[in-house]
Structure 1
Amino acid sequence: MRHGLLPLLAELRPGYEEATVQAAMVRHEQKQEHLKYVTSYVKEQMTDRGLPLEAIQKLPTDFRRLVLRTLLPDHDFTSEDYNRFLTLLRVDMPSGEVYYGNWRIQRTYGYVTCVRCPEKNLLPEALEVGIDLGTYHYGEQTITFSRTTTGIPFSAVQFPLTIRSVLPGDRIRLAVGTKKVSRILVDAKVPRASRAEIPVVVDAAGQVLAVIGHRIAIFGSFELFAESCLMIEW
């Protein structure tokens, strides 16, 4: 190319070298201005829940690509990376996620978030709770078990209890029937990637007694019981 095509171009279009360099400089300045605008726009639109999907969709397609650059400014992206991001924005589903290195960009219930993935995706080990009860720490949660006059009747519980992560098929007893724990977390709009981090308390028979942060099992009308009960607080 250097010895064959470029001399031919110089003959056909004198001064093309300077024009090409100038065009590249103008294009670079435009891209920097666009990136500066999108960075400011993302900062203005960002909320505690993340960046509203609606705000991103108001941007032209080229500017939507730059949202990815704004979220991960230290990364180099290929055209395929940008296409995956645009696809995440287009898919008509309540949630989705794409990964770039150890970063996860997630779309959940109309918001886009960007979080660093832990180097080791390990959940805390299950904890056993004996009849002495007390306070336990599971991940970032503090859970207290105590004996009171209201709560889950001890006659309905088999010890030891276990604090663990949610498992497929877990169900919790409610006032009428039972409900899947996974459905409770969906209804609470817990992001899919965070649902495995929600602890549950189960007894020795496998009954889910509590979904920490969200729900406690209901075993009849507690007020009618004269016996002592188990209270689970967080």
Structure 2
Amino acid sequence: MVSAFQKVAEKKELWRYGDAIVVAVSGGPDSMALLHLLHSVSKEQRLRLVAAHVNHGFRGEESERELQTVVRFAEGLELPCETVTLDMPAYLQENRLNLQAAAREKRYAFLRDTAERNGASIIALAHHADDQAETVLMRLIRGAGLGGLSGMTDKRAEKNMELIRPLLRMNKSGLLQYCEDYGIPYMVDSSNAKRDYFRNKVRLDILPYLEQYNPRLSSSLQRLAEVAGAEGDYMEQQTELLLESIVSRRQGHLEVSCADLTRLHVALQRRLIKLILRYLLQENDYLSFEGIEKMRLAALPESPSTWRMDIGANLVCVREYGIMRWFRERSDAAVPALGAGGYVYKIAPGLQALEAEPSGWTFTFHWSAEPEAGNEQTAGYLACFDCSQLELPLVIRSRLPGDRIQVLGLNGSKKVQDMFVDEKVPPSCRALYPLLCDAGGRLLWIPGIRRSSHALAVKDGRELLYITARNE
């Protein structure tokens, strides 16, 4: 078993020569075997081991005996052992939390603290192959996808630590025999026989029942985890490449064209949406299959050209014509005041540059008495004005209800809202789209769209103002 243990560690690169490792030891046969196995290879690998035990305070004297058993065993191996005793029943009553989730949170916090105090970046956990089979079956019952069916991983990063599971390919029966062969003491957790928890029901009732139809069900579930994990890793790599190649980041938005998204295989569509959400969310609570499917279907050609979905945590997904966008909505307090969530910036004479931060646009100003080459009145993102006809100071602001512009080349005025629709400006960008006005409130220019017929530049030596707009 020691040889198999070493081979798995080398193949999966669970640690490096000379690493410091905190070993989570509950006192059961699995974790006690793990501590002994790591100790068996520690001299050759120059590993520095620290045992860590958490007494959650659920089982009174039994929990205390577990703690003492772990401490004595670690002392016999001449390893340091750090312990903590918690009053989890009181903590749960005070905070009204889920028992298992709260216990895990406290346990992992102690393990991370222990690792930091001892200069370790690796925490070893004693989950084994039978635990893996139970985990896969539990997730299958709950309706997990391919990612969930891959079960627990050999190693994964969590915050600033790396969690490793060296026993993930060893069965419980083998670990029990190992303890017997080497005279390793261990305790049996009496709560494992109670059917209060879903995992215990799976272990005690569901797996034994299903094994009537497949005596090797546990091995089959472990193999399923291996296959799903490998295929999931490959799909994740492909999705990462897609994120870099077809998803763009613009004004704090992640966006992809509907055409690029829908031409992918449906499996990659779902994975890409999920990966985008993972980049924007800290928690996985909002990553439901149903939600991801709604976003995927919204990108189809037959779906409405404009669509919106509030995901949660201020995150929004919108379809705007041919583009799917994901972004966090700003709170009203995040932008300068002008109406509901708007902004306004004054342009003093001589100003050279301005960043209208809420909109993501930047402007440069060139005040000159000499016409520049071409002297275009407007060229998309460049506009030129006769300063003598402007009522200063100019302002750049967001849109207000009823805004209209006297469009150059057209008779009469036109609503800004109608121009946004005509130009297919995404609805999510309209509220903060910058408009150039003079001090009298006259709308002079909608950058990238149209300018007004007011203050046209003339070649008679008057001072001119050239404004360049950029949206990056």
User: For residues 230 and 170 of structure 1, what CA distance do their matches in structure 2 show?
Assistant: 26
Contact 1:123 1:165 in 2 (8 A): no
Partner of 1:151: 385
> How many pairs align?
230
Contact 2:297 2:303 in 1 (8 A): no
Higher relative strand content: 1
User: For residues 246 and 441 of structure 2, what CA distance do their matches in structure 1 show?
Assistant: 45
Deviations 1:124-180 (A, max 9, x none): 4423456xx33262425235375869835856x555543311223211112322222
Contact 2:385 2:456 in 1 (8 A): no
User: For residues 144 and 221 of structure 1, what CA distance do their matches in structure 2 show?
Assistant: 16
Partner of 1:66: 271
Contact 1:153 1:229 in 2 (8 A): yes
Deviations 1:65-87 (A, max 9, x none): 11113334455322233123223
Q: Which has the larger radius of gyration?
A: 2
Closer, same or farther in 2 for the Cα pair 1:221/1:70, shift >3 Å?
Answer: closer
Closer, same or farther in 2 for the Cα pair 1:138/1:196, shift >3 Å?
Answer: farther
SS in structure 1 opposite 2:212? helix
Deviations 1:95-115 (A, max 9, x none): 445456465555444234555
Partner of 1:192: 427
Q: Please report the RMSD computed on the Cα atoms of aligned residues, expressed in angstroms.
A: 3.8
Contact 1:172 1:181 in 2 (8 A): yes
Deviation at 1:218, TM superposition (A): 0.3
Higher relative helix content: 2
Closer, same or farther in 2 for the Cα pair 1:45/1:221, shift >3 Å?
Answer: closer
User: For residues 145 and 41 of structure 1, what CA distance do their matches in structure 2 show?
Assistant: 41
Amino acid at match of 2:207: L
User: For residues 229 and 179 of structure 1, what CA distance do their matches in structure 2 show?
Assistant: 29
Amino acid at match of 2:467: E
Deviation at 1:230, TM superposition (A): 6.4
In percent, how many aligned pairs have the same letter? Answer: 21
User: For residues 413 and 333 of structure 2, what CA distance do their matches in structure 1 show?
Assistant: 31
Deviation at 1:188, TM superposition (A): 4.4
**After the TM superposition, which residues 145-224 of structure 1 pair with which residues of structure 2 at under 5 Å, given as runs?**
146=367, 151=385, 154=388, 158-174=391-407, 175-176=409-410, 177-219=412-454, 223=458
User: For residues 208 and 221 of structure 1, what CA distance do their matches in structure 2 show?
Assistant: 13
> Which blocks of at least 5 consecutive residues in structure 1 are unaligned?
none
Normalised to the residue count of structure 2, the TM-score between the two structures is 0.40
> Which blocks of at least 5 consecutive residues in structure 2 are unaligned?
1-200, 337-342, 372-383
Query: Is 1:20 equivalent to 2:217 in the alignment?
Result: no
Closer, same or farther in 2 for the Cα pair 1:46/1:200, shift >3 Å?
Answer: closer
Normalised to the residue count of structure 1, the TM-score between the two structures is 0.72
The partner residue of 1:8 within 198, 209, 223 is 209
Query: Is 1:126 equivalent to 2:337 in the alignment?
Result: no
